[in-house]
Chain A
Amino acid sequence: MKRLALAVLFTGCLDTTGNALVSFTATASAAPDLGAVQGQPLSFTTPRGFDVTLTTARVWVGALYFSTVEPTTASGATEAPCVVPGVTTGEVRGGLEVDALDPTPQPFPVEGLGSDLPTRSASLWLTAGDVNASDERTVVLRVEGTASRAGTVWPFTASFRIGTNRVTPPRNPALPSSNPICEQRIVTPIGFDATLSQGATVQLFVDPRAFFASVNFATLEQVSTSPPLFRFRDETATADQADTALFNGLRANSGPYRLEVSR
């Protein structure tokens, strides 16, 4: 009896339902391997052979969500809903326009909340409003720079929103929500194998080079000849290869974005 009482007392002091709720900070910056210097342009060569110099690269990250779902399964279902309840391990619900050319950690304006359940993937929300809203005026990507190849130079600019300009018709009339606008606004699944802990810092690294990996600058629309300026069109319907490639690059779940957690 005495032993039982001691056991009960002992175990009662130590026991838990497991896991913990945590709060953490979140920052974003240019990817450290980018070699970017704050205030300086970034030059690189794309896989298509374009030499690009970026003077501006800003991405609006409206929120980060972390999930227990493995990236492979999360992306497998084409009809997977944008928000799956019950699987979220962390969230940072505050917008930050990330200067992707600045290697200095830029803090998100709100504290991150979550749990120490194993995180397997992340979602990056490119919106400042309702993810399902039909229109949204927030500029989620602003880039400026020049690209050149074989002596041809394309000074370019891009300013992307994800609103009615990005609506994609359903692939089947019987599936009217098969291409919801929220899918355009959420970059997912981004591999993120981590366990959040109290007081930890989640770092989002943005590599703007990946935005341009597939871009053929030669297809850009020229909007000015003096000075020469090319522009990425901000719509899906009339997009050329470069327009679509940059938008897809912005939304690529591997390449432009990487997440790490540090204590």
Chain B
Amino acid sequence: MRPSRHLACLLVLVPGLALAGEVIPPEVLTRVAASAPPDAPPPTQDHVLLEFTVTVKGRAGDIVVLESAGPLWDDAAREALSRWTFKPAVHEGTEVASRTRLSFAMPAVLLPPPTDAGLDDGGIDVIDAGSPEHPPHPSEVVEDNLDGGHADHVMSTVITERLTPKSRGASDLSIEIGKLALVPVQTGGERLKLAPGVLLTNEGGEGHPERIFMRGFDAREGQDLELTVDGVPVNDSGNLHGNGYADLNFIIPELIESLRVIEGPFDPRQGNYAVAGSADYELGLTKKGLTVKGSYGSFNTQRLVLLWSPESASSKTFGAVSLQRSDGFGQNRGAQSARAAAGYEGRLSETTSFRVQAIGYTAGFRSAGVVRDDDFRAGRLGFYDTYDPRQGGEAARASLSGELHYHLGGFTAHQQAAVIFRSSRVRENFTGFLNDVQLARQSPHGQRGDLIDRDSEALTLSARGWGKLRRSVFGRSQELELGYFARYDSVAGQQQRVLAGADVNTPYAKDYDLSSRLSDIGLYGDLNLSFTPWLALRGGVRADLLTYLVNNACAVADVRRPSASHPPGDASCLSQRDFGQYREPTERTSAFGVAAMPRATLLVGPFKGVTVTGSFGDGVRSIDPQFVTENKETPFASVRAWEGGVMYAAKFFDDWLDVSARGVVFGTRVDKDLIFSEQEGRNVIGGSTSRLGALVQGRARGGFFDVQTHATFVRSQFDDTGLLVPYVPDLVVRGDGAVFHDLPWKLAGAPVRASAGVGVTYVGRRALPFGQRSDVIFVTDVNGELSWRFVTVGLSATNLFDARYRLSEFNFASDFRTTPPLPTLVPVRHFTAGAPRALMLTLAFNVGGAP
């Protein structure tokens, strides 16, 4: 190294405002000197001034050259800065992104003699970037509305790493995936298991959305959980499978940067479907360069992933494609899927940044469905077999979203708009030959089969925005945020019943044929009041107006006294009333309703690292369009929730060890809960239920490990009878861990990095109908990786111990004609099989990224 050929650096000092006292600025942990480019022409000036973001991960992102010394010199400075590491800025105890500047000084020997005043040459002449005697100082910390300023450089915009939302209590979890990405998952939805009390099951097969249980709620495919990806809605309003049906399979798992899960309706930003809570996925790609990843494993599973993010861009600028296929375990579980996602982040001015994101997804899958326990025990059907190989489905999603973020002084504004196309088709048979009731007007028939073929197609326009004002009152920073959410859905859906037979795809009846136009406009106000450094009150009110216009093209399903001259026969959607009087087969229904939802959180932090919180809030779930009644107030399912908790966060050993933990006691009451109906193959509205429970969660991160565990116990009961709500787990324990370190020896002079991840799930015996309990679920997934230079080899094993377990269990009546000829009509145990052990070998190459 020739010091004289290295660029010197200096962070520009910027005095903070009065409020900067709440901010701990970022610190440089490691610095890399920039090497002067060989054969480069002399620099055009004495420095390169870079502006960049210190991300919460401690890396420099979105590097912009403000003052150039020539392209080659600029590149050299930028390349060096991209390898610096920082301790992120901290605001009110939370690590935040900050925007700052750094000046690399040109080697004095290459500069022309100074002719006038400028930067002090003597001060910058050949300053080694790593010189401890010149600790760089952050120019500015910008968190939320906190501004800095400088006589020479006005900086007021956070460009990357949008603000981490203010905590809404101990049930508000901002989960950075980080090294826990080493824990193997099959789908993006599975990352939800990092949140306490979450169980995911899937009786529909790969490609079918996960059924989500959260803290005593059976949210089915998201019906009770508001799901968003970077703020873009995922729940399908008006989907026949369930209002709020949410398919997270479009997410490429490698793109998940973090999750914010709020278990309960405690934040005024939460909207429709936030009954059990909400989850927002934040996508991004921290691995720079081009990554090509190929995997092959059990059941002929193949996966190819391409990931790309430019070196100097933030994690929000990326492109990704994944292709996957699998024969699946057992019978009829093959699946194929393709995903694409792209994001770009840039800025329009000093005060305004923007992001655009496009996502595409399509999948086809087979599904094994349920197996009767008596058939399995009698050997009539195998554990992984299927009754009806026609089960399965297809799904597609395309979305385009854009957002603007503005920040100046004490005001921040945010605006997002999205257009989403979604289609889904699901074919399920829960009951075999049971529900085909003979109507008098129909031709005589036996049971023709209960395969339900349900499809839905939706176009969604959504927008959300907010403005936040921040002022110092009584020496404390106070915030007021006003925001809105607007959504319009045009949805068409049909449900048919398909004739039984191996290769038959003939519908014999139509249950539903609905076209719906749904609107949801919500407004909220949110106050963040800070009374003392250890006492804050956050909360507000949200109100949503929901409107329905439903066109039912199959409004008449039967007629008691049909026309003798024009009998309806076997038709499903009739155009006659009693005595054959004509009527149109369609019928329109419209309804509307307003829901007002107060929410508040009190945070008390009398001791360092400890915060005691208490929250309450109301939330709603809109109902399925088929339940809407003309001119009636739109009914909502309403939830009231409360919680009390303690959070602890601390760092030890010079920040080498980062520890956080929380304990929560919570309760909820829902006036119209969703209860699974095997006849409908989905959840239907039931009675009111209440929950009381507690959870503990902890995470520890160190230089070579990242471990998280949580346990949740909850009791869910019906209010009228006090009986347990079936199917929801009362005990869920989950552990995730990762270790990573360079091996003690090198290969061809380069270190070999070893990493491993493990995830363990334990679910207690779930309550089933008729006083029964399910089996325990205990599954372990592991993954190991070796990385050397640009190559990574990994081997993962899901269900490592090959436990034969029942992912879902039910008690209901079915008749799959395994013991003909008399039908069986009483409830018996059914299950869907959990996946056996699966091994997957992965080989990945990265070009252009940091090792």
A residues in contact (CB < 8 Å) with B: 1, 4-5, 7-8, 11-12, 15-21, 62-63, 65, 79, 81-86, 88-91, 93, 113-115, 125, 128-133, 170, 172-178, 180-182
* Nearest chain B CB to A202 CB, angstrom units: 13
State A27–B824 Cα separation when bound (angstroms): 19
State A16–B771 Cα separation when bound (angstroms): 5
24 sampled A-B residue pairs with Cβ under 8 A: A7-B692, A8-B693, A8-B694, A12-B730, A15-B722, A16-B723, A17-B772, A18-B770, A19-B770, A21-B771, A81-B438, A88-B813, A88-B825, A89-B826, A91-B825, A113-B824, A115-B826, A131-B822, A170-B440, A172-B564, A174-B568, A177-B442, A177-B444, A181-B444
Q: Known contacts being A17-B770, A85-B679, A132-B446, is A93 close to B819, with CB within 8 Å?
A: yes
* Nearest chain B CB to A216 CB, angstrom units: 32
* Nearest chain A CB to B376 CB, angstrom units: 16
* Nearest chain A CB to B441 CB, angstrom units: 6
Chain B residues near A125 (CB-CB < 8 A): 822
Which B665-706 residues have C-beta < 8 A from chain A?
A: 665, 679, 692-694
Chain A residues near B560 (CB-CB < 8 A): 79
Chain B residues near A86 (CB-CB < 8 A): 679, 813
Cβ contact within 8 Å between B770 and A15:
no
Partner of B715, one of A15, A20, A114, A132: A15
Total A-B pairs, Cβ < 8 A: 143
Chain B residues near A182 (CB-CB < 8 A): 438
B725 close to chain A: CB less than 8 A: yes
Cβ contact within 8 Å between B826 and A12:
no
Q: What are the nearest 10 A-B pairs in CB distance?
A: A174-B567, A88-B825, A18-B723, A132-B446, A175-B440, A79-B440, A174-B562, A178-B440, A16-B771, A93-B822
Cβ contact within 8 Å between A12 and B771:
no
* Nearest chain A CB to B777 CB, angstrom units: 18
State A1–B693 Cα separation when bound (angstroms): 11
Most chain A CB inside 10 Å of its own CB: which residue of B444, B568, B826, B828: B826
Chain B residues near A7 (CB-CB < 8 A): 692
Cβ contact within 8 Å between B726 and A17:
yes
Chain A residues near B828 (CB-CB < 8 A): 21, 113
Cβ contact within 8 Å between A129 and B821:
yes
Chain B residues near A172 (CB-CB < 8 A): 564
Chain A residues near B693 (CB-CB < 8 A): 8
Chain A residues near B563 (CB-CB < 8 A): 174
Cβ contact within 8 Å between B825 and A18:
no
* Nearest chain B CB to A113 CB, angstrom units: 5
> Quick one: closest B residue to A128, CB to CB?
B821
What 11 new A-B contacts, CB under 8 Å, besides A19-B769, A174-B567? A7-B692, A12-B713, A16-B723, A20-B770, A79-B560, A83-B437, A83-B823, A85-B813, A89-B826, A91-B825, A130-B446
Which B394-448 residues have C-beta < 8 A from chain A?
A: 431, 434-435, 437-446
State A121–B715 Cα separation when bound (angstroms): 35
Cβ contact within 8 Å between A15 and B767:
yes
Q: Known contacts being A19-B771, A21-B811, is A174 close to B679, with CB within 8 Å?
A: no
State A132–B693 Cα separation when bound (angstroms): 51
> Quick one: closest B residue to A83, CB to CB?
B823
Partner of B826, one of A62, A91, A130, A180: A91
> Quick one: closest B residue to A93, CB to CB?
B822
B606 close to chain A: CB less than 8 A: no
Chain A residues near B768 (CB-CB < 8 A): 17
| A contact patch SS | loop
> Quick one: closest B residue to A9, CB to CB?
B713
Partner of A175, one of B441, B665, B721: B441
Chain A residues near B240 (CB-CB < 8 A): none
Q: Known contacts being A4-B694, A15-B724, A21-B770, is A85 close to B825, with CB within 8 Å?
A: yes
Chain A residues near B772 (CB-CB < 8 A): 17, 20-21
* Nearest chain A CB to B744 CB, angstrom units: 47
B827 close to chain A: CB less than 8 A: yes
State A113–B445 Cα separation when bound (angstroms): 27
Cβ contact within 8 Å between B665 and A4:
yes
Q: Known contacts being A1-B665, A8-B715, A21-B827, is A177 close to B726, with CB within 8 Å?
A: no
Chain A residues near B441 (CB-CB < 8 A): 174-177
* Nearest chain A CB to B315 CB, angstrom units: 41
Cβ contact within 8 Å between A88 and B770:
no
Cβ contact within 8 Å between A88 and B822:
no
B302 close to chain A: CB less than 8 A: no
Cβ contact within 8 Å between B443 and A177:
yes
Cβ contact within 8 Å between B694 and A85:
no
Chain A residues near B730 (CB-CB < 8 A): 12
State A7–B679 Cα separation when bound (angstroms): 36
Cβ contact within 8 Å between B564 and A17:
no
B228 close to chain A: CB less than 8 A: no
Q: Known contacts being A21-B811, A85-B437, A86-B813, is A176 close to B723, with CB within 8 Å?
A: no
* Nearest chain B CB to A36 CB, angstrom units: 28
* Nearest chain B CB to A201 CB, angstrom units: 17
State A18–B564 Cα separation when bound (angstroms): 48
Chain A residues near B771 (CB-CB < 8 A): 16-21
Chain B residues near A114 (CB-CB < 8 A): 826
**Proximity string of chain B (326-346) to chain A, C-beta cutoff 8 Å, 1 when within and 0 when not:** 000000000000000000000
Which B714-759 residues have C-beta < 8 A from chain A?
A: 715, 717, 721-726, 730
Cβ contact within 8 Å between B724 and A88:
no
* Nearest chain A CB to B580 CB, angstrom units: 8
Most chain B CB inside 10 Å of its own CB: which residue of A4, A81, A93: A93
Cβ contact within 8 Å between B827 and A85:
no
Chain B residues near A19 (CB-CB < 8 A): 769-771
Partner of A84, one of B437, B692, B767: B437
